[in-house]
Amino acid sequence: MNEQEQLNYDRIAKAIAHIRSNFKEQPSLDEIAEQVHLSPYHFQRIFKEWAGISPKKFLQYTSVQHAKAVLDESKATLFDAAIETGLSGTSRLHDLFITIEGMTPGEYKNSGENLTINYSYAHSPFGLVVIASTPKGLCHVAFTDDEEQGLYELKSQFPKAQYHQRVDQTQVNALMVFANDWSQISEIKLHLKGTDFQLKVWESLLRIPKGQLATYGKIADVIKRPKASRAVGTAIGSNPIAYLIPCHRVIQSSGNLGGYRWDSIRKTAIIGWEAAQSR
């Protein structure tokens, strides 16, 4: 993402925030464009370039009514192991290529004392990300507004690890998902620090297809812990792999999109963008 693309994303994020705050008033195109200091024509063009759809259509994709409809449609097939979308070309779901390996008890207990971690920064359609990997796989992907803060948060997860600012093939491969470039992607391996319960929750998230949504209660049912919705929510909130483990696809049963570890506006942007790409 170059400087102009980042500026456009920031404008889109601000526009989405305004739409969310004023949804009941149904703001016009002119009103939204004014919030980001653009002409209606220019704003509509940039928005379509970013999301592939008009601001009005995007608003529909992120509304409570649409979310409820998606939840109703997906009840029967949301976690069906036999994904019917096929495995060729751009219809591939990146979720099918991701496997999780939990860290050993020693790695977990010792805060990464014997781990060597490569990290780098990259631009995505949803802002700057810090991405990190061990020899066994990806261990951290997080959206951040500042490189220094992003690195601090990474190191807080593994305070005793050895760090090298270095781009490796694991990181390059994982970042391909933002471009929907499946021709370059092989299996993505994740090397994660988590309890057995957390790993089970994160694995369940990988089975939510792009453009679909699930509720916290549904995740609890899938892992056979129907009374653990609150614990499921906590595990989802501690997900260490942004976007690839799609915690953004989990919303409240009411249809409200709910919070997100990396900002609720970003969650709205991702859900709307994925809905548009999946249509």
Would you name the residues annotated as active-site residues?
247
Distance CA 59, CA 218 (A): 25
User: If DSSP codes are grouped into helix, strand and coil, which group holds residue 78?
Assistant: coil
Residue 55 to residue 61: CA distance in whole angstroms: 10
Residue 120 DSSP symbol: E
In three-state secondary structure terms, 153 is helix
The torsion defined by the Cα of 96, 81, 211 and 169, in degrees rounded to 10, comes to -10
Which residues are CB-contacts of 79 (< 8 A; sequence separation ≥ 6)?
A: 204, 207, 208, 218, 222
Q: What is the rounded end-to-end Cα distance, in angstroms, of the chain?
A: 24
Measure Cα distances from 171 to 74, 166, 174 in Å. Answer: 32, 10, 5
Measured CA to CA, the distance from residue 214 to residue 68 in angstroms comes to 10
Residues 6+ apart with CB under 8 A from 28: none
Tokens of 76: 């029967």
Long-range contacts of residues 89-93, Cβ cutoff 8 Å, at least 24 apart: 89/182, 90/180, 90/182, 92/182, 92/185, 93/209, 93/210
